[in-house]
């Protein structure tokens, strides 16, 4: 989980919310060429505003992702420091 503070929109720097979020991940966490899962794109604007430009991103960094590089798989408004997951193997 990566907590970031995203720059607010500025008429002098006409970047979209997704671009500013990716820039913050590069700057604050050192990720190179991060991407955002397509299913999250319609939600970014609301999540950034709900978190007052502070969000926590779940970033998957295994190189086996199609296209390579880190990918944002979830975005939570504000600070979150607990993540949990579940894996189930039902056999063959």
Count of helix runs (H) and strand runs (E) in the chain: 2, 4
Give pTM, 2 decimals.
0.78
pLDDT of residue 46: 93
Burial label for 55, CB within 10 Å (0-12, 13-18, 19+), is buried
- Full set of structural domains in the chain with CATH: 2-77 (3.10.20.880)
**Regions in the chain scoring below 70 on pLDDT:** 63-68, 92
Query: What is the Cβ-side half-sphere exposure of residue 9, based on CA atoms within 13 angstroms?
Result: 8
29, 4 contact by CB (below 8 A): yes
DSSP structure class, residue 18: H
The tens digit of pLDDT for each residue in 65-88 reads 566 678 899 999 988 887 777 788
pLDDT of residue 67: 63
């Amino acid at each position: 989980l990566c907590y970031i503070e995203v720059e607010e929109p500025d008429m002098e720097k006409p970047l979209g919310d997704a671009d500013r979020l990716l820039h913050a991940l590069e700057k604050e966490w050192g990720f190179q060429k991060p991407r955002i899962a397509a299913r999250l794109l319609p939600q970014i604007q609301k999540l950034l505003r709900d978190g007052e430009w502070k969000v926590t991103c779940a970033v998957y960094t295994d190189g086996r992702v199609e296209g390579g590089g880190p990918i944002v798989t979830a975005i939570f408004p504000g600070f979150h420091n607990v993540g949990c997951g579940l894996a189930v193997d039902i056999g063959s």
